[in-house]
Amino acid sequence: MRFVIVTGMSGGGKSTAMRMLEDMGFYCVDNLPVLLIGKFLELLTGPNVEFTKVAMGIDVRTDQSFSQAGKILQSLRQSGTPVEVLYMDASDGVLLKRYKESRRMHPLCTQDSPRIEEGIAREREILKQIKKEADYVIDTSKLLTRELKEELERIFLKNETYSSLIVNILSFGFKHGIPADADLVFDVRFLPNPFYIDELKYLTGNDKGVRDYVMSFPEAGVFLNKLTDMLLFLIPNYIKEGKYQLVVAIGCTGGKHRSVTLANGLYARLKGNEAGVGVTLSHRDI
């Protein structure tokens, strides 16, 4: 039997992940108190039980004994019980934005401490140990629902080698500002600008004409080769350091032609990479 514990930050995407796992054939139980994990597992491994895939959601709303989760998990693993932990996370800024948009209060907010930021900070402290114990950490800060589904399918359906690092490839225009969350920024304004070609001016790097024009310059291919090689070197080292998100920003003047073309090219090269990392693509300024 495959037994998965789904946990993580409130607002990080646990409920969405549970629904997706249910669609994948998992029997899902949500909001079970932490202290009942062992008893629940005993029932699942009893005679005449036919479940082959089970997912259990736990979070800080269920009870105040969450500090015991790490100990229970360690005990189960020491006894030889195959338990996988999926930890759903997001940046503080994204969590705050999601709570404000939903107009919900954080579960750890109180009358004495009503600020959402404080609730998020307390929750991170409570969950820090189980995050260290997690088999998979998915940061949903930049993931679309479709991309989250792809990540879960890679882990639980295709059983591919998985790393918790997700590489976000982002095109942008320097005239609109450098993305604040970029880890690596690359400037491709050394290439001729299709904006000055009348038939290409109002197209983007998603159009064949612009793509063919940009890639007709040998420097574009050399740039992609060198950038791909560097990232394939960096990715395993970022994984070793416990990084969960890597934002690779590629910029040109307006963010519509050269940067889009090269971001698409980099995405195609990294997608399905042997490192087992997830790769996403977005174009900020189209």
Alpha-carbon span 209 to 199, nearest angstrom? 9
Helix axes 218-240 and 208-215, enclosed angle (nearest 10): 90
Residue 240, Cβ density class (10 Å: 0-12 exposed, 13-18 middle, ≥19 buried): exposed
Which residues pair with residue 270 across a beta bridge?
A: none
Residue with token string 């009870």: 63
Alpha-carbon span 73 to 38, nearest angstrom? 9
Q: Please, what are the domains in the chain?
A: 2-156 (3.40.50.300), 166-283 (no CATH)
Alpha-carbon span 5 to 57, nearest angstrom? 6
228 with 157: CB under 8 angstroms? no
The pLDDT tens digits along the chain (286 residues) read 889 999 999 999 999 999 999 999 999 998 888 778 888 888 887 777 778 899 999 888 655 566 677 778 888 788 877 889 999 999 999 999 998 888 788 888 877 778 889 889 989 988 888 888 899 999 999 888 998 998 899 889 887 767 778 899 999 999 999 999 999 999 999 999 999 999 999 999 999 999 999 999 999 999 999 999 999 999 999 988 888 889 999 999 999 999 999 999 999 999 866 666 889 999 999 9
